[in-house]
Structure 1
Amino acid sequence: MSEQQNKGFVREINGPIVTIDLPGIRSGEQVRIGELGLVGEVISLAGREAVVQTYESTDGVRPGEPAEGLGWPLSVELGPGLLGEIFDGIQRPLEKIALESGDYIRRGLALPGLDREKRWEFEPNPELAPGQSIGPGTVLGTVQETETIQHRILVPPDHQGELTELAPGGEYRVEDSIAHLRDAHGHSLHLTLFHRWPVRKPRPYRQRDDGISPLITGQRVIDSFFPQLKGGKGAVPGPFGAGKTVVQQQIARWSNADIVIYVGCGERGNELVDVLESFPQLEDPYTGRKLMEKTLLVANTSNMPVVAREASVYVGLTMAEYYRDMGYDVVMLADSTSRWAEALREVSGRLGQMPVEEGYPAYLASRLAAVYERAGRVETYNAGAGSVTLIGAVSPPGGDFSEPVTSHTKDIIETFWALSKELADARHYPSIDWVTSFSGHVHAAAEWWHKEVDRHWEGRRTEALALLARDAELSRIVNLVGPEALSDAQRWQLEGASLIKEGVLQQSALDEVDTFCSPQKQFALLDLALSTYDKGMTLIEIGVPVSHLQDLPQLAKARRCKSMYTSEQVARINDLAREIDEAFESIRLEYAKQHTDD
């Protein structure tokens, strides 16, 4: 369909919802509205009358102003030049917007997502030749997008036919033709370095596979206790101030994914500014290059138009699927899906739809499920296996996990990292509550841990969680009647749980040494805490007073060694474990001698 459609006009305006009269318009099509040329999307259609949700404020727009269809649904441009960029909720590059209109986005400003002037060095696929049949996902060639990421130029999912021409190697702009093919009807189609894809339509793949390896985030409470597989679905719910954004930023900074997409969806501007300013300065721990070489950001703050907030998650997902189709492992972080759901609620209310629980539309659960189901590990058409790991932050009002967005999300996802206000108030970060959090990926992740790190990982994890559960029960008794009511064995259980909480679970994002922890160091710290507890319990059982063990200076060292030794100094942690063994053995011998003398 051509870009110029029949002209129409505005009938009615209700905030971001505009009713227009436009012949030939189709549901889901993008339109331009008013003298300002505001962009919107058709969400309801009755004959030639269409209801449009606009992605910009409609202040000043009047009935009777012109409206026209653009001929395609809300789509994103997919091609080289995405990585390192910062986009708004409908894929307009914010840095170019700042040059055009200053600190505030001028309404109606239309900028392409990809730079039209930059030239890219294209290297054609040597295995392709004219006359071959090609289809969705065929790799036409490659472009070195950044120092670390090779961008594979793919045949779009809706194209197939006979290759009639493939451009030689050289420099090309994204709009330049690099291949021609003839489809089944004999029509000639030209392919460029980029293509458009509708954001609400999942990109196809050959088949879905099970996840096989964990997403290593460098955060101990996640990797060692509640692991997430590549291609999995996770959520980080928590009340205001519990640290959701910091957890997601840590995952974005330190995860072993090939590509990171961070979608700031309706969050406070100061938090997103921190992301936008800090990410370009960070170094990727796996390559030593700038983190932005494998990252792209979608920023839609709480003061930006609410409908663009709803679109931003789909924009991020579509770009994630595009890199997945190249065979990359992508992690996408949505901060937060609660703000996204609030956008659904506002639009639903303006449309007069029947509200259900807490004013959300009846289709909230199905929309959430449709978004999370776009995550997964898949077999692509021609680039091997790729994955999209989707992790969404949830902001339940007052920390109430029974509210609709959190409860529906909990039914959909596989990994649930519940943040606790009590832990955050106690300055225990990350404040992931080990009692209410869960992971459905433990057994699958165990295969990787046992092969790559230590075959006792799953058993040690189970022991630690059991000890933490006993600690929760004993802590309630202490709160009621005081620690004097506990036996020495019970008091040592509290001490062992404290070792795990302070020496393993607590981790400072601001500590230069402890902000990232390798799997090997994670297991060494966990094993140190549990070995110390086990050997101490053996001494308690033979009658050694618990106070004698609590006074050992090595216990304080065990709590601090997470920030004393880097991930390359795991041997030093093992040395500390031997030092504690020697101290315990000395106590045992001394106690045995006293017992013999008596």
Structure 2
Amino acid sequence: MDKNTVYSINGPVVTVRGARQFEMQEMVFVGNSRLIGEVINISDERTTIQVYEGTTGMRPGEPVTGTGGPLCATLGPGILSNIFDGIERPLKEIAKTSGAFIPEGSDMPALDVEKKWPVTLKVKEGDRLKGGDVFAVCPETSIIEHRSMVPPGLDGTVVSVRPDGDYTVLEPLVVLRDARGADHELALAHKWPIRQTRPVAERLPIERPLITGQRIIDTLFPIAKGGTAAIPGGFGTGKTMTQHQLAKWSDADIIVYIGCGERGNEMTQVLKEFGELTDPKSGKPLTDRTVLIANTSNMPVAAREASIYTGITLAEYYRDMGYHVAVMADSTSRWAEALREISGRLEEMPAEEGFPAYLPSRISQFYERAGYMENLNGTEGSVTIIGAVSPQGADFSEPVTQNTKRFVRCFWALDKALAYARHYPAINWTSSYSEYLDDLAPWYAKNISRDFLPCRQRISTVLLEEAKLNEIVKLIGEDVLPDDQKLIMEVARLIRVGLLQQNAYHRDDTYVPLPKQLMMMQVILYFYDKASAVIARGIPISEITDSGLIDSLVKIKYEIPNAHLELFDNYYKEIDDKLAGLNQL
């Protein structure tokens, strides 16, 4: 048997016996259908390859051909508003020729090689360029300018430049001569290995929040630009819905949505909804600043593992242009399950719950690619990673959730009871946390108010007090509580329903700016302080609840438009008037 032929097949894992010319992580073509694969193990006797397509029908003896390079993503204009599979094959183009399912061995180029882009050159002959420098720009969509950069690791002097005009992604635009005298042609597109982090000049400290307009996130558990967050939750708790809200409303320039191993019907809904959404900041279609990577659960398991790396590579590419990118990975649990299946087929020693021993390092490598960076060209950009986790049975003690918790600094734990009670976002305020508060404190003080974080702290304290009192109430009932503790329970209910619960379908409640969030906290705390003073004078809590004040304050989120915050003064007056009336009884 030839040394460059298939020796054994075990699902997506194929071995070649006696081959010596392959390299680790080299991309190869496997079988007569030329399926895309990657070398993952080399020994004296055999080479092991994971195949990113279905191996059904493959037989021993079929040829294996090396490419001499790693699995790469094609980076250039045409990525945005597109839909790719896990190894960056364009699903829209494939659907035109092959229907709803991807044929084996499909070699459709990632980007349209025939489309011409209106290019403006930014360099002239004699210019010195280095990796990351922008040499050409073109309008990729109606709201995003694509900045073509010199690939990292390449530098030299410009010896020829094409005039401004319409060019395809593969046409040479600039010829760069390096120090050795070798010429390099630069086109709009270049390739980059998906498992290799793109280099930066410097990792900058995290100081700015990613503003989402979702009160429980921005107020209680903020995430920073360049930060990492996990959204763990059981089936039906709203992981995907929360990510949709963040994709639509967060102040990121570009969204990379990775549907990793999700149900086909769910991904179809995502694609349909994203296509219909309007970007609230520009009024243009949201897809103009979004790229979708769809790798459904019926697609090959190895491609599911690769889709995470493809998505983060695309995000880093746009970060290098100076954009702020948010990556939505839905869900990393399916990715971890792909690692477990491939590990099992490789007959590796399993660790906890059958996951491979290297699961923590893979998770950390993924989240470490987030950050706020100074790029090679002097611009600043960021990649923020928000990964959904789907623990079986909503058990947060399972390995994927626990290991993710080690490497992220923001944890938004979704609660099944809240979701079933139609409380959205169903983020549990007692088991969630954010470690970015100290980093972001100067920004809040400078741009919003010095009162923002103190108010946030008092709101959190009330919710924690309620959690403690609930334990007593379960044992002996609420009637035995003194009035000041009953007030805490009422104010906590006001916070939960009036502040933390949000209506994604209401015009003024789907997105709430930070100044309004602060004013909502301030008016709730003002009521708490005034009511506490009333109770201290011996007036029963029942008088306060019967006044209708609490029900009135719950409606603030609907009654006050985001553009008319001066209306908050009416609520302060209402609180003063009604509580003063109680004092006179």
Normalising by the smaller structure, the TM-score range is over 0.9
Q: Does 1:154 align with 2:149?
A: yes
**For 1:28-63, what per-residue CA distance to the aligned partner results, in whole angstroms no more than 9, with x for missing partners?**
111111122211111111247321111111110000
Within the candidate set 392, 401, 405, 1:397 is matched to 392
Within the candidate set 129, 133, 145, 2:128 is matched to 133
1:13 aligns with: 9
* Counterparts of 1:155 and 1:245, CA distance in 2: 36
* Counterparts of 1:459 and 1:560, CA distance in 2: 24
Query: Where in structure 2 are there 5+ consecutive unaligned residues?
Result: none
**For 1:95-124, what per-residue CA distance to the aligned partner results, in whole angstroms no more than 9, with x for missing partners?**
111111101111111111111111111111
Give the fraction of aligned pairs with identical amino acids, expressed as a percent: 47
Within the candidate set 351, 354, 370, 1:375 is matched to 370
Alpha-carbon distance, 1:164 to partner: 1.1
Within the candidate set 351, 356, 365, 2:360 is matched to 365
- Within 5 Å, which residues of 2 pair with 1:170-209? 170-209=165-204
1:99 aligns with: 96
- SS at 1:193 equivalent: coil
1:595 aligns with: none
Query: Where in structure 1 are there 5+ consecutive unaligned residues?
Result: 1-5, 592-598
* One-letter code aligned to 1:11: Y
| RMSD of Structure 2 on Structure 1 (CA) | 1.5
- Within 5 Å, which residues of 2 pair with 1:27-66? 27-47=24-44, 49-66=46-63
Within the candidate set 418, 426, 445, 2:421 is matched to 426
* Counterparts of 1:15 and 1:419, CA distance in 2: 35
* Counterparts of 2:153 and 2:98, CA distance in 1: 36
1:249 aligns with: 244
2:69 aligns with: 72
* Counterparts of 2:472 and 2:37, CA distance in 1: 59
Q: Does 1:322 align with 2:317?
A: yes
CA contact (8 A) 1:24 1:48 kept: no
Alpha-carbon distance, 1:7 to partner: 8.7
* Counterparts of 1:76 and 1:228, CA distance in 2: 28
* One-letter code aligned to 1:18: V
* Counterparts of 1:282 and 1:576, CA distance in 2: 34
Within the candidate set 323, 329, 335, 1:334 is matched to 329
Alpha-carbon distance, 1:476 to partner: 1.5
CA contact (8 A) 1:310 1:340 kept: yes
- SS at 2:555 equivalent: helix
**For 1:317-365, what per-residue CA distance to the aligned partner results, in whole angstroms no more than 9, with x for missing partners?**
0000000001111110101111111111100110011001111111111
- SS at 1:180 equivalent: strand
* Counterparts of 1:570 and 1:529, CA distance in 2: 15
* Counterparts of 2:559 and 2:90, CA distance in 1: 42
- SS at 1:388 equivalent: strand
* Counterparts of 2:207 and 2:477, CA distance in 1: 47
- SS at 2:154 equivalent: coil
* Counterparts of 1:29 and 1:286, CA distance in 2: 42
- Within 5 Å, which residues of 2 pair with 1:456-475? 456-475=451-470
- Within 5 Å, which residues of 2 pair with 1:553-572? 553-572=548-567
Q: Does 1:436 align with 2:431?
A: yes
* One-letter code aligned to 1:213: R
CA contact (8 A) 2:409 2:434 kept: yes
**For 1:215-242, what per-residue CA distance to the aligned partner results, in whole angstroms no more than 9, with x for missing partners?**
0111100001111010001111111121
CA contact (8 A) 2:147 2:321 kept: yes
CA contact (8 A) 1:202 1:318 kept: yes
Moved more, 6-15 or 239-248: 6-15
2:80 aligns with: 83
- SS at 2:423 equivalent: coil
TM-score (ref. length: structure 1):
0.95
Distance 1:512 1:200, change over 3 A: same
- SS at 1:264 equivalent: strand
Moved more, 555-564 or 234-243: 555-564
- Within 5 Å, which residues of 2 pair with 1:160-171? 160-171=155-166
Alpha-carbon distance, 1:130 to partner: 1.9
Distance 1:19 1:574, change over 3 A: farther
* Counterparts of 2:559 and 2:34, CA distance in 1: 58
CA contact (8 A) 2:78 2:112 kept: yes
**For 1:234-263, what per-residue CA distance to the aligned partner results, in whole angstroms no more than 9, with x for missing partners?**
111111121111111111111000111110
* Counterparts of 2:46 and 2:505, CA distance in 1: 55
* Counterparts of 1:533 and 1:431, CA distance in 2: 25
**For 1:260-309, what per-residue CA distance to the aligned partner results, in whole angstroms no more than 9, with x for missing partners?**
11101111222211210011211212222211111111111111111111
**For 1:437-481, what per-residue CA distance to the aligned partner results, in whole angstroms no more than 9, with x for missing partners?**
111111222222222222200100000000000101111211211
Alpha-carbon distance, 1:433 to partner: 1.0
* Counterparts of 2:571 and 2:110, CA distance in 1: 54
1:489 aligns with: 484
2:108 aligns with: 111
* Counterparts of 2:473 and 2:51, CA distance in 1: 57
* Counterparts of 1:400 and 1:273, CA distance in 2: 28
Alpha-carbon distance, 1:67 to partner: 1.6
Alpha-carbon distance, 1:491 to partner: 0.6
Alpha-carbon distance, 1:423 to partner: 1.6
Within the candidate set 285, 295, 304, 1:300 is matched to 295
* One-letter code aligned to 2:68: G
* Counterparts of 2:458 and 2:446, CA distance in 1: 20
* Counterparts of 2:83 and 2:426, CA distance in 1: 29
Distance 1:489 1:583, change over 3 A: same
* One-letter code aligned to 2:347: G
Within the candidate set 228, 231, 254, 1:236 is matched to 231
Q: Does 1:215 align with 2:215?
A: no
- SS at 1:8 equivalent: coil
- SS at 1:377 equivalent: strand
CA contact (8 A) 2:136 2:188 kept: no
TM-score (ref. length: structure 2):
0.97
- SS at 1:324 equivalent: helix
- Provide runs of 4+ in structure 1 moved above 4 Å: none
- SS at 1:42 equivalent: strand
* One-letter code aligned to 2:414: L
Alpha-carbon distance, 1:199 to partner: 0.2
CA contact (8 A) 2:9 2:60 kept: yes
